[in-house]
Structure 1
């Protein structure tokens, strides 16, 4: 599932391509046809992201809410438009570019009030200027659940996925099963500020890089990471490989239906 930086990056792209212009909206697949017809010809006002959710704002109190889920993707291209390929849920055509949405978990037309209600169920997003990390801390500091599980709960913290979760815990030497109420405010504030910086970098470059300069391949002489997710990381999807810092074998396990990765030495607690 795409992590929050991907949605913020999409919001920036869509805002640049379509904001302030009348757009044509259609649903080649048909599942969004009624809403698309109501929107076509309207002015695309802006795009915003909150966590793993994307919002397209139109006039007259209309907002398209998209949650990509596991399989959703947007593809953008310059005009002219091409015949739809695959199951295109929503197509948006602007003055110079067009984008197709395929396979989302959600693609729905909402009022502004309904969109606010969706956002109201989400925790603070480290990539939003209006985020209040204290809201997340109040939930975490009272919880017996592991910090690894809490960081992935979108009602507590929006936008953090499996990669950022594993990497930020490693970067701060935190044992993943540490109860939230045992974390401590100082470590929480370090986690939050690190997520703000790491995720903003993800928006800029379009991939997740979490390895500090002194551990990069060009410094240590190791081979660059070869993985379809791209980016240099410490523990994510490195089970059985040596830790880049101490050499201990990286471990993996299951937690709340997702893979967890950690170094038992660097994150000994």
Structure 2
């Protein structure tokens, strides 16, 4: 293989796009792959948050493009998938990470709640992959990494809408990986455990809930966005050439216990 005499985890010369890249898990993905050598397009709704992450990436000596985007608008998604090639010359790595949640019991959930979750977590994620495939095939290299969840595997009360969307992410990861297996594109997903981010900060500070999480995690701690970095770099790199269609938990041992 092309990397046999070099570092299989080196991303120098590769261009990545990260949705949901302004904070939390997405910002952790972006920093990790930039540290491994990739140039990055950052997308999220908040330009201010994106610029903060972009400053860190520029400090590593990487090129970075900030692209405020609402992924629930598929016209914006289609345009975003052209941006890496237009601005940085190619499109190699896609972290399909934008996500949202409305934590409600089924008795209180409305069709609008369902649509709000699925429009971002599933519909946008599916069509973003569709629009990313062409530029990746043109460049002869592709790594699509979706963000799944523990709720892709297990049921959690109050998370039925989120779990349904993330179960869908897991299954479409497997199906699309199979469709593309004879191309240069690999499709996998990372299923984070409980990671301390802005989305989970309130629950982190709920003593009863946080104690329950720690009782389920063999490592006895919440994860941090940086804990996802090694898996992110592996799935982005030539080292993952023979890995496709997998949903990889990064959860402190939860799913293995």
TM superposition score category, shorter chain reference: under 0.3
TM-score of the pair, normalised by structure 2: 0.27
TM-score of the pair, normalised by structure 1: 0.27
Bigger share in helix: 2
Choose between structure 1 and 2 for higher RCO, CA contacts under 8 A separated by at least 6 residues.
2
Bigger share in strand: 1
Structure whose CA Rg is larger: 1
